[in-house]
Amino acid sequence: MTVAQLNEALTTRQVADLLGMSITSVQKMVEAGELEAWVTPGGHRRILRSTVDQILRARKGATLRLVEPEERMRILLAEDDPIQTKLFEAVVARYKFPIDLTVATDASMALVQLERQRPDLLVTDLMMSPFDGYHLIDILERDPAYYPIDVLVMSAMDESAARQKGHLPDWVSYYQKPFDQSRLLGYLDSMKARVIKRARNQ
């Protein structure tokens, strides 16, 4: 750790303000290794400014359409492959029910978006850099605030290999790439009923 890096260190509160997140969410990002941090001799946590700047730069690449929340499906796609993103966007464009799609290219950007908008559905790849889908799902599993969010994993690995490589909860749905578009549309149909019910019960 250089002197310059120490001088640019941020507090947890400063990082939360910069990212527009809660202090608890920032702490979870530190625990997951998504933010580089250390503890001072006085017992205070400090976070490296450059890792925060990396997330802020990545956030600029997110695609977000702001819309009315009533009876609309909000989907967050965590995918670092532009081709797979285009394929998913094409399926969403064909779907008749209104969908608001946000795209994040890694797990850290996805976590920022999860804190900001709380989508109905998270669709995530597993093998992403620098932070992967396993870290993202682990954070969701440990925080009750995220329990209402459905999770669909789409990965090139077959499901048994993916579950051996890392922890995937039983409540996570799994599709292997290349995904079947008709199967995905069927999944969205089942999601639509739940989204409408939630909207009308609000």
> pLDDT value at position 23?
81
- Phi, psi torsion values for 122, nearest 5 degrees: -105, 125
Round to whole Å and give the CA distance between 61 and 57. 8
pLDDT digits (tens, 9 = 90+) for 33-54: 788 888 888 888 889 888 888 8
pLDDT digits (tens, 9 = 90+) for 188-199: 988 888 888 777
Rg (CA), the chain: 18
Domains of the chain, earliest start first: 3-59 (1.10.1660), 73-201 (3.40.50.2300)
Check pLDDT > 80 for residue 65. no
- Phi, psi torsion values for 105, nearest 5 degrees: -95, 0
- Phi, psi torsion values for 57, nearest 5 degrees: -65, -40
Check pLDDT > 80 for residue 130. no
Q: Which amino acid is at 58?
A: A
Mean pLDDT value across residues 108-126 = 90
What is the secondary structure of 61-75 as a DSSP string? T-B------TT-EEE
Round to whole Å and give the CA distance between 125 and 201. 31
Round to whole Å and give the CA distance between 109 and 112. 5
Q: Enter the pTM of the model.
A: 0.67
4: CB partners within 8 A, 6+ apart: none
> pLDDT value at position 160?
94
